[in-house]
Chain A
């Protein structure tokens, strides 16, 4: 077989990210293969009669949690290395801001890092297990 008859292979490594001008890779399909259905109880804060009122709103989304690597934890500020850090990749349903508090499987976590990859169709968060309990929700 001559070389000319070999089908041309479009190898992804040869496709630069800016091949389609003005776009970034849509990772939604890829991420969905990895994600599972999860529910976070997100603690919301509002003001009623000049005072703080806390509620827990359950947000169901597709995502995945993983522990941070030892190296990543080592780079955290002194005194926080022994705490339980997790990273969360989620679909665009879960919108958290830094210092937000969530409850997952009965444990309370605080958002310490938030990366907006919404152009790529996912969010990335780093959470640390929170030692100051926010609840219970205001009766």
Chain B
């Protein structure tokens, strides 16, 4: 059986574990993270991957590529994305609608409109609203524990030159309500509100002209925490006492 690498998880927030398992080939397996990725680490023997402590600063380094090598030196790879909740939501949509890379994107005026016939999903953040902003002091460990609790209204647009946006827009609702979405929320500590019955897609078709005939837009609410722990060594950096002597 040909060597392959399996994981249930294809996207992750920071400081979280994910398990990778080699299948086929000849045991034992050795796992490694290829360089120039997001910066996560992996246990070479168990395949337990840990995502980095901070989010990657460039989209080019958003993925870590995990490689498994078997006893015959055959290799297999699998990628995992490390990103904040907005990117995790994009990955959920891509995963559940089975779209290729590049077809789901965060809306940006610098991105060109779709040039081909099939479906594109544009995700934009509308109103990031802060509900909680705390700074708690952990005296024992001399740490400041800060957290914010945010609620973002996310706009999701299905866009296509062909009829795909019209025919597949309901899959967006199903993606947000999917088991995969729920497991990702649980794993990464964010919450995507279900799109309730009675919600409506805004039909924005044709307002961009004949070039993009179909465009359907719907909003979802996403709630998430951000947390930062910083060491504040109040009692460690006293200046050396000096004897003041009058001149």
Mark A residues whose CB is within 8 Å of B: 45-54, 99, 134, 138-139
Contacts and interface: CB of A to CB of B under 8 A. Distances in A.
**Which of B57, B90, B106, B110 lies at the interface centre, i.e. has the most chain A CB atoms within 10 A of its CB?**
B110
27 contacts: A45-B110, A45-B112, A46-B102, A47-B101, A47-B102, A47-B105, A48-B59, A48-B60, A48-B101, A49-B59, A49-B62, A50-B59, A50-B87, A50-B90, A50-B91, A50-B94, A50-B105, A51-B59, A51-B105, A51-B108, A52-B59, A52-B111, A54-B110, A99-B112, A134-B110, A138-B59, A139-B58
A53 B60 contact: yes
Contacts, number: 50
B36 to A, nearest CB: 11
Most buried by A among B60, B62, B81, B83: B60
B10 to A, nearest CB: 12
Interface residues on B, range: 20 to 34
Interface of B: 57-60, 62-63, 81, 83, 87, 90-91, 94, 101-102, 104-106, 108, 110-112, 123
Task: For the complex of A and B, list the 3 residue pairs with the smallest distance between their C-beta atoms, beginning with the closest.
Answer: A49-B62, A51-B59, A50-B90
A139 B90 CA distance: 22
Given A50-B90, A51-B87, 19 more contacts: A45-B110, A45-B111, A45-B112, A46-B102, A47-B101, A47-B102, A47-B111, A48-B60, A48-B62, A48-B101, A49-B62, A49-B63, A51-B59, A51-B106, A52-B108, A52-B111, A138-B58, A138-B59, A139-B57
Contacts of B104: 50
A54 B58 CA distance: 11
Contacts of A139: 57-58, 60
Contacts of B91: 50
Q: Most B CB atoms within 10 A — which of A50, A52, A99? A: A50
Which of A45, A47, A48, A49 counts the most chain B CB atoms within 10 A? A49
B90 A52 contact: no
A97 to B, nearest CB: 8
A51 B111 CA distance: 9
Given A138-B58, A138-B60, A139-B58, A49 B83 contact: yes
A54 B108 CA distance: 13
A16 B154 CA distance: 61
A48 B101 CA distance: 8
Nearest to B121: A50
Contacts of A54: 110
Contacts of A134: 110
Contact of A49 (B81, B111, B112, B123): B81
Nearest to A139: B58
Contacts of B62: 48-49, 51
A52 B94 CA distance: 16
Nearest to A97: B112
Nearest to B87: A50
A47 B87 CA distance: 13
A53 B112 contact: no
B196 to A, nearest CB: 26
Contacts of A45: 110-112
A50 B60 contact: no
Contacts of A99: 112
